[in-house]
Amino acid sequence: MSSTPVRVALLGAGTVGAAVARRLADRAEVFAGRVGAPLELTGIAVRDLGRPRDLSGVLPGLLTDDPGSLVDSADVVVEVMGGLQPARGLIERALAGGADVVTANKQLLAQHGVEIEALAEREGRSVAYEAAVVAAVPVMRTVRDALAGDEIRSISGIVNGSTNYVLDMVARLGVPFQDAVQQAGDRGYLEADPTEDLEGLDAAAKIVLLARAAWGVQVGMEDVQREGITGLTDADFEEARGTGQVIKLIASAWCSGPAADRRVEVAVRPTLVGAEHPFGLTREGTNLVIIDAESAGTLRLSGAGAGGDETASAVLGDLVNLARARVRAREAD
């Protein structure tokens, strides 16, 4: 066990960031054992220092509104502030300065992840983002690592927790649409800009990241055939109910054509599914991803797709792995 800590800078203390900070404080000894050195939280960058937030157990005095200085002194930067800027600039500054990065920011990765990963590679650093896709469920690892020896044919899923919560509340409990959106926000499921969820942009970013991992192709947000859930009417829900079906926001990616001329398509759209289908039975903020692979057959991964503690689980998993690799590299030097 090394006594030299791994210095961790946390960017953001909202739904996810506050949960990460609390867990780092609560479980300091456990994480130190897993990493082989203490994880030292050196600071937490926020926008509004005066905003009330639950950081129980976290050392006082860690909050700052100067994320740049925090990044410059870190070994690992955890970006959970969201948005394109300043998140992108701070991540690039971290990588250029020799830090590794954990991020849950799917919009940034879907739009600029190729450049960010290229920079990480040039700098010999890592960017980990399991939390960006289906929060607590290790679907990125499954697609990118566990199935690296197989041929994935298609991926389809409920990959957005808030819209699944809304659709479920409206269909199953008759909650008015806007009230269900409010409840999803109260649970910490919605993005800072809820239109990202409701218009399918959040699901689109996730399916883009999954398609890139599955097939190594440069699909982007502009390639997604996308429709959100705001155009759904009471009549649509009635009609679904009348035929024993429910409406789900399904994201899908599929690959066709020969290896030399592979065509990958990606879509997000409200879809009618049987009420007893695994998608139909996926309730509240739960997500379900179904992967069809040539040798493995059909795999189903299901679990919490949103929420502070649930997302923190994936963020912390990436953090422990990156910190452990740094400690090993330090010992090998």
Among candidate residues 318, 293, 8, the one with its CA nearest the CA of residue 138: 318
- Which listed option, ligand NAP, ligand HSE, none, makes contact with residue 322 (CB within 5 to 8 Å by class)? none
Quick check: 135 binds ligand HSE (CB under 6 A)? yes
* CA torsion through residues 103, 8, 61, 307, sign: positive
* Residue 76 one-letter amino acid: V
Quick check: 13 binds ligand NAP (CB under 6 A)? yes
Helix (H, G, I), strand (E, B) or coil at 95: helix
**Cβ(36)–Cβ(324) under 8 Å?**
yes
Report the distance separating Cα 73 and Cα 91, nearest Å.
13
- Residue 183-212 contact track with ligand NAP, rule CB under 6 A, x = bound: -----xx-xx--------------------
Tokens representing 332?
Answer: 């090998």
Q: What is the largest CA-CA distance in the chain?
A: 67
Tokens representing 231?
Answer: 């155009």
- Which listed option, ligand HSE, ligand NAP, none, makes contact with residue 14 (CB within 5 to 8 Å by class)? ligand NAP
CB of 316 to ligand HSE, least distance (A): 16
Residue whose CB is less far from ligand HSE, 43 or 200 = 200
**Residue count, binding to ligand NAP (CB under 6 A):** 30
User: Exactly one of 7, 38, 70, 82 binds ligand NAP (CB under 6 A); which one?
Assistant: 82
- Which listed option, ligand HSE, ligand NAP, none, makes contact with residue 82 (CB within 5 to 8 Å by class)? ligand NAP
Residue whose CB is less far from ligand HSE, 197 or 199 = 197
Quick check: 279 binds ligand HSE (CB under 6 A)? no
Report the distance separating Cα 306 and Cα 311, nearest Å.
6
- Which listed option, ligand HSE, ligand NAP, none, makes contact with residue 302 (CB within 5 to 8 Å by class)? none
**Residue count, binding to ligand HSE (CB under 6 A):** 11
Stretch of residues binding ligand HSE (CB under 6 A), selected from 112-120, 187-195, 236-244, 291-299: 187-195
Among candidate residues 320, 282, 323, the one with its CA nearest the CA of residue 134: 282
Tokens representing 43?
Answer: 């600071």
Span between the terminal Cα atoms of the chain, in Å: 16
Cβ-closest residue to ligand HSE? 162
| Residue 243 Cα distances to 106, 169, 267, 284, 315, angstroms | 35, 18, 24, 21, 41
Q: Which of residues 301-320 bind ligand NAP (CB under 6 A)?
A: 306-307, 311
CB of 328 to ligand NAP, least distance (A): 28
**Cβ(153)–Cβ(259) under 8 Å?**
no
Helix (H, G, I), strand (E, B) or coil at 277: coil
User: Exactly one of 39, 78, 120, 135 binds ligand NAP (CB under 6 A); which one?
Assistant: 135
Radius of gyration of the chain (CA): 20
**Cβ(6)–Cβ(28) under 8 Å?**
no
Catalytically active residues, by annotation: 206
Q: Which of residues 42-81 bind ligand NAP (CB under 6 A)?
A: 45-48, 51, 67, 80-81
Quick check: 190 binds ligand HSE (CB under 6 A)? yes
Quick check: 138 binds ligand NAP (CB under 6 A)? no
Please provide residue 67's backbone torsions phi and psi, each rounded to the nearest 5 degrees.
-65, -30
What 3 state SS string does 105-159 have? CHHHHHHHHHHHHHHHHHHCCCEECHHHCCCCCCHHHHHHHHCCCCCEEEEEEEC
Quick check: 282 binds ligand HSE (CB under 6 A)? no
Per CB under 6 A, residues contacting ligand HSE are 135, 160-162, 189-191, 197, 202, 305-306
* Contacting residues toward ligand NAP, per CB under 6 A: 12-17, 45-48, 51, 67, 80-83, 86, 104-106, 131-132, 135, 188-189, 191-192, 306-307, 311
